[in-house]
Structure formats: C-alpha cells, structure tokens
C-alpha cells in the first residue's frame, strides 16, 4: 500500500498572517466573514495556540485577491491597534495525498525530512488524515516536486 499516491501543485498563492489577534471566536468569525463578503476564497488556514489572550492567524489565497483582502482587513486594523498584517506572495501550494496515510506512521516525518534535505523552506503546513499541504516559495517548487516524486515513486 503506497502512503502517497498523488501530488498537486497550485501556483500564484499568497499567505496573509494576522499577528496579535485577540482570541475571541466572534472576532475571528468576523474576520473570515469580512474576507468572504469581499468575494475572496480562502484555502489553507492555520492558527497558533493562544498566548496571553492573542493568536496569530494565517491563511492562503490566490495572489490576485490580495488587494481585496487588504481592503477587507483594513477595518480590523482600526479596531485592533496592535494588529500586524503580513503578506507573502510568490508561493506555491503542494498538496500530497494518500488514502493509506492514515494507517502508516511517519509519512509526515518523511515529507518534512525530504524537504529539509533539499533546503525547501516551509511557509505554512496544514493536514488531514489523508493529505498534507505545504506552502513554499515558488522558486523551490520544481525542486520540491521532483524530490517528493522520487521519494514516493510518483509519476
């Protein structure tokens, strides 16, 4: 049983990180609602554990939607003076899939090791039982795809 059976790549991805967001679910919901109201589809979402009442919240989106996202988030900058908004563009999303991942320990460890050995820096990681998605610099995409295909015998 192969742990990894498919690798998909999405290009022209950006990541927005909101630092120092008060850990209030109604505020977090309001942020995502405002982004949605601006017609922006969010893909990956990552939140840190709360620390001193605040979290950091990152999400990925198509690069073309960054200006709309900045507009959507500007109202929160006014409401939360210590809020910092960081934007990173020029990213690619690698989605690694395998139905057997849920039953085979160490797949994530192997992927992290493979990317580390190639010097590929990770910007964000999200997972489920059967897939792992990484945001990486677009300049590292070709190298990352090649080494993952080699490591997991993908075509």
pTM (2 decimals)?
Answer: 0.93
Res 111: pLDDT: 94
Domain ranges in the chain? 6-11+91-151, 14-89
Task: Quote the radius of gyration of the chain (alpha carbons, Å).
Answer: 17
Both tokens assigned to 51: 């620390």
Residue 136 to residue 13: CA distance in whole angstroms: 9
CATH class of 14-89: alpha beta
The answer to whether the CB of 40 falls within 8 A of the CB of 61 is yes
* 155 vs 123: which has the higher pLDDT: 123
For 6-11+91-151, CATH gives: 3.30.2130.10
Kindly report, residue by residue over 22-43, the tens digit of the pLDDT.
999 999 999 999 999 999 999 9
CA 67, CA 42: separation in Å to the nearest integer? 14
CA atoms within 13 A on the CB side of 75: 11
pLDDT at site 1:
81
């Amino acid at each position: 049983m192969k742990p990894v059976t498919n690798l998909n790549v999405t290009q022209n991805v950006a990541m927005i990180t909101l630092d120092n967001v008060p850990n209030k679910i109604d505020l977090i919901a309001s942020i995502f609602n405002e982004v949605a109201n601006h017609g922006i589809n969010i893909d990956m979402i990552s939140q840190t554990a709360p620390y001193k009442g605040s979290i950091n919240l990152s999400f990925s989106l198509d690069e073309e939607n960054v200006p709309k996202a900045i507009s959507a988030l500007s109202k929160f900058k006014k409401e939360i003076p210590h809020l910092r908004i960081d934007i990173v563009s020029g990213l690619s999303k690698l989605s690694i899939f395998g139905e057997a991942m849920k039953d085979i320990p160490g797949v994530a460890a192997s992927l992290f090791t493979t990317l580390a050995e190639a010097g590929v820096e990770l910007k964000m990681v999200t997972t489920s039982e059967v897939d792992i998605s990484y945001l990486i610099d677009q300049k590292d995409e070709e190298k990352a795809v090649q080494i993952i295909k080699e490591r997991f015998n993908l075509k």
